[in-house]
Structure 1
Amino acid sequence: MNDAASEKLDLKTKLAYGAGDLGPAITGNISTFFLLVFFTNVAGIPPGLAGSILMVGKIWDAVNDPFVGMLTDKTQSRRWGRRLPWLLYGAIPFGVFFFLQWIVPRFSVWGLFWYYVVIGLLSQVFFTVVNLPYTAMTPELTQDYDERTSLNSFRFTFSIGGSIFSLILARIVFLQISDRSQQYLVLAAICTVIAIASLYWCVYGTRARALAFEAKRIQAEAAPDIPFVEQLKIVFSNRPFLFVIGIYLFSWLGVQITANIIPYFVVDCMRLQEADVPTVMIAVQGTALLMLFVWGALCKKVGRKVVYFLGMSLWIIAGAGLYFLQPGQIVLMYVMAVMAGFGVSTAYLIPWAMIPDVIELDELQTGQRREGIFYGFMVLLQKFGLAFGLFIVGNALEAAGFKANVPGQATLPIQPESAIQAIRLAVGPLPTICLILGLFLTFFYPITREMHAEIMLKLKQRREKVD
């Protein structure tokens, strides 16, 4: 297994793997930036109730992650391997249920609430079905320490590139179509088609590499299956893993809170148009995309910890600047957006480059490759945190007196000063607290390049004995 897995990946495989995150990125980006706004400003649902819809979906999404992860670890297919069947058969339902979230049925407020809850639950199930096996493929495609950082750079190039494309697409659609409900319906339809196509590109483009790894894994893995409860004990006794999920949780909590509040900040605090929201987010995501390969190269010279500290420090400064911005300071707003993009880039790159190292440590301790369960529990805890964060944002806005739009109303209501202040707190101080906690955990993360090299040497010696 070592010979096949440690060699360098060709460009074709890296591109195909990266494409697998394009669909989830586009759909996830549109949902993150616009779903809460869609609920309040198009469907006319109060922000507290809208936040609850998102919280229910995220909690359910988190709960099913470890079970899907465990099932993918146990999946056996000679034709497709362990992970790819999930992407192959889940792609179309994933796209369909994403699209159904953007329809506004003629129901009462509570009827809409339950419609979006049910569709949201199904959408999150199929998001997990395609996205979790995909993320678990990273350590199976290569076991080289630096090659994994490179592979994640390709992945997040497609991810952030897809996010930027979705925002450009959103701006075009918003400018061409005046009816708000039609805007989101057309946008969702286009994103659905792209998402399904990109997942099939990933399946067929990585199949050969994935099957080569699978054949070696089956030959080398001699340890018996471990019961699920015992797996949980091993996973959570893996100290570096606890650091990684903490770093990822706080990083992405900062990302998600900022992404959900930015549309309100741009329109209600900076007094710009809704069509300006995608432009602001493009400044963030475009910078993040450009910095991916810069940070990746810098990681080889100064290490992941230093890169993470650099990016997050710039983001913290940007958060403070956004809190104090006033209407008319448009140039400063874009400067702050670019600075935030430096930090967002490291939030994408660093935690996902760390998790395969943890999986290798687990293999050394247990003799098994269990990527699915590690990725499942990583995402589970992340989504619990995100659900809580979205619930807080939605209910904080409602408590602050935020006024939801009346469906069909052409102009948005003027928000009271209390709601404006709540938006400012959510765009600045709240994400900053999360980022500082992530920095603290990163400082104490125990797996270094040298420790990883030692782990890989011991695994190589064990596999040579098996062969």
Structure 2
Amino acid sequence: MTSSPPARPPADPKLNFGTKLAFGAGDAGSAITANLLIFYLSPFLTDVAGLSPGMAAQTQLIGKFWDAVNDPVMGVVSDRTAFGKWGRRYPWMLIGGIPLGLFFFLQWIVPHFSSDAATNQWGLFWYYTLISILFNTAFTMVNLPYTALTPELTQDYDERTQLNSFRFLFSIGGSIVSIIIFDFIIKQIFADPAQQYLAMGIVLGLLAAVPIYWCVWGTRKREREMAARHPNEDVAVSMPLIQQLKIVASNKPFLYVVGIYLCSWFSVQLTATIIPYYLRSWMLTPQATGVVILAVQGTAMAMLLVWSKLSDRYGKQAVYFMGMGLWVIAQFGLFFLQPGQVGLMYFMAMLAGFGVSVAYLIPWSMLPDVIELDELNTGQRREGIFYSFIVFLQKICLGIAVALVLACLGWAGYVKPTDAIPIPVQPDAVLWVIRLAIGPLPTLALIAGLIMAYFYPITREVHAEILLKLAERKNNRQGA
């Protein structure tokens, strides 16, 4: 006798537009704060607060290490705790929303601790380090449970890509709004850079907190419906942490996703950190910072739905190759640009936006598929540990990379701008550090990501087979 293949599980109701919109809004606050910190924190610390590049590197490195450490802690906590009808994720988002905005604001204050320059340096160092730790704690409380919601709202392979499209529409949209408010409104009102950053902290700190509560309100009904249909997915995880980490590290598709994500976001964040220095010291166009960022983010936002549609037709890997190929050309081209080639610089920024859009969309769309493979192998849903593990590695690597770049600027003899000399002539060694950090280093990372994407094994067909096996297991348990 031959056994019949397992019946295809009944399809879940499709996500409605309101749920997609509310889910997307949940990333706006995190994007606003993270975007401004990526682009402006380093020049704020060195050029406005007055920290040396070496101390600015150290305070960011400590903040990133703490941010990395608290991610797996939050991932395990959110997996292992359930708050009755509120589930595993929402309470943490509700608790962390207001502190996220508050500590973001405090990051842009320039306190004065002593008339002695050395003492004041150390006072500033410890102040910004403490605020960084507190902000990153609140950020993790909000962002990690939020990202872990994706597989809990839908199991559909293509619908997850659509859901992430809405997420990153708000993410990039929040980034664009933050740049417009800061570069084109606040900077026109205040002339003093310290006042500009302070006003930005107040306005955008408030704006960052509100969308988090919209997300909780707008997605909770869907999450409860899915928890009722798939009750095993909202159960607190009981497996010991060390055993969880061993299983995560042995999941080969997950390791490919980690590599793809790290390579993409290494390029994004390294470029974002160095771009203000590149525009001021190499291109001699510091006023172009906001326009360049908008060119990248605006193109990335416009392409999200295009890439999502292409992914539905050709698959996630194909879309990744398309976007990364364009980005490699743009990123390496920045190394060869000369002062005065402003039009070409804007073109490169737009071309990079095609790839940045894919970096937002594809790795996060792959991760829920990996989580279901893990569920098939272990019998448990562990979104939190997977999301936290990937972000942990990202923050450790990027924290080290950004700190090294800032430290290299200091070692090379970086000259701080002043009111009298807003664009000082930098030593050749500083210019080489800036150009290498914006061109060859990110380009090599993008090429490594392309290689790993080539070997990523979970296609649409493989994912469908995983879901069928999970459905068969569920039917067997119910029939037992």
Residue 452 (1) aligns with residue 463 (2): yes
Q: 2:19 matched to which residue of 1?
A: 13
Residue 233 (1) aligns with residue 246 (2): yes
Change (3 A) 1:249 1:220: closer
What letter matches 2:453 in structure 1? T
8 Å CA contact 2:237, 2:381 repeated in 1 = no
8 Å CA contact 1:40, 1:405 repeated in 2 = no
Residue 27 (1) aligns with residue 33 (2): yes
Q: Which moved more, 1:244-253 or 1:316-325?
A: 316-325
Change (3 A) 1:370 1:122: same
CA deviation after TM superposition for structure 1 residue 70, in Å: 0.8
Q: 2:127 matched to which residue of 1?
A: 115
Residue 106 (1) aligns with residue 112 (2): yes
8 Å CA contact 2:28, 2:208 repeated in 1 = yes
8 Å CA contact 2:93, 2:145 repeated in 1 = yes
CA deviation after TM superposition for structure 1 residue 416, in Å: 2.0
Q: 1:437 matched to which residue of 2?
A: 448
Q: 1:135 matched to which residue of 2?
A: 147
Q: Which moved more, 1:409-418 or 1:226-235?
A: 409-418
Q: 1:72 aligns with which of 75, 78, 84?
A: 78
TM-score w.r.t. the length of structure 1 is 0.96
Q: Which moved more, 1:152-161 or 1:165-174?
A: 165-174
CA deviation after TM superposition for structure 1 residue 78, in Å: 2.5
Q: 2:326 aligns with which of 303, 307, 314?
A: 314
Structure 2 CA distance for aligned equivalents of residues 352 and 219 of structure 1: 22
* 1:214-251 per-position Cα deviation (integer Å, ceiling 9, x unaligned): 33444678998211111111111111111111110111
8 Å CA contact 1:312, 1:343 repeated in 2 = yes
TM-score w.r.t. the length of structure 2 is 0.93
Structure 2 CA distance for aligned equivalents of residues 24 and 192 of structure 1: 10
What letter matches 2:14 in structure 1? K
Change (3 A) 1:156 1:73: same
* 1:321-366 per-position Cα deviation (integer Å, ceiling 9, x unaligned): 2111112111100000001101111111110000000000011111
Structure 2 CA distance for aligned equivalents of residues 221 and 418 of structure 1: 54
Structure 2 CA distance for aligned equivalents of residues 395 and 219 of structure 1: 48
What letter matches 2:359 in structure 1? A
Q: 1:280 matched to which residue of 2?
A: 292
Change (3 A) 1:400 1:449: same
What letter matches 1:334 in structure 2? Y
CA deviation after TM superposition for structure 1 residue 306, in Å: 1.5
Residue 153 (1) aligns with residue 165 (2): yes
8 Å CA contact 1:91, 1:196 repeated in 2 = yes
Change (3 A) 1:282 1:462: same
Q: 1:61 matched to which residue of 2?
A: 67
Q: Match of 1:6, SS?
A: coil
CA deviation after TM superposition for structure 1 residue 384, in Å: 0.7
Q: 2:227 matched to which residue of 1?
A: 214
What letter matches 2:429 in structure 1? S
Structure 1 CA distance for aligned equivalents of residues 105 and 398 of structure 2: 22
8 Å CA contact 1:24, 1:127 repeated in 2 = yes
Q: 2:136 aligns with which of 96, 101, 124?
A: 124
Residue 85 (1) aligns with residue 124 (2): no
Q: Match of 1:414, SS?
A: coil
* 1:350-397 per-position Cα deviation (integer Å, ceiling 9, x unaligned): 100000000000111111111001101010011111111111110111
Q: 2:269 aligns with which of 232, 245, 256?
A: 256
Q: Which runs of 5+ in 2 are unaligned?
A: 1-7, 114-119
CA deviation after TM superposition for structure 1 residue 284, in Å: 0.4
Structure 2 CA distance for aligned equivalents of residues 225 and 88 of structure 1: 24
Q: Match of 2:414, SS?
A: coil
CA deviation after TM superposition for structure 1 residue 49, in Å: 1.5
8 Å CA contact 2:80, 2:237 repeated in 1 = no
Q: Match of 2:291, SS?
A: helix
Q: 2:398 matched to which residue of 1?
A: 386
CA deviation after TM superposition for structure 1 residue 4, in Å: 9.0
Structure 1 CA distance for aligned equivalents of residues 403 and 154 of structure 2: 38
Q: 1:466 matched to which residue of 2?
A: 477
8 Å CA contact 1:87, 1:130 repeated in 2 = yes
8 Å CA contact 2:280, 2:423 repeated in 1 = no
What letter matches 1:68 in structure 2? M
RMSD of aligned residue pairs (Cα, Å) = 1.8
CA deviation after TM superposition for structure 1 residue 5, in Å: 7.9
Q: Which moved more, 1:362-371 or 1:137-146?
A: 362-371
* 1:192-211 per-position Cα deviation (integer Å, ceiling 9, x unaligned): 11111010111111111112
8 Å CA contact 2:32, 2:204 repeated in 1 = yes
Q: Which moved more, 1:221-230 or 1:67-76?
A: 221-230
8 Å CA contact 1:24, 1:131 repeated in 2 = yes
Structure 2 CA distance for aligned equivalents of residues 223 and 424 of structure 1: 48
Q: 1:50 matched to which residue of 2?
A: 56
Change (3 A) 1:96 1:448: same
Q: 1:296 matched to which residue of 2?
A: 308
8 Å CA contact 1:364, 1:455 repeated in 2 = yes
8 Å CA contact 1:360, 1:455 repeated in 2 = yes
Change (3 A) 1:375 1:222: closer
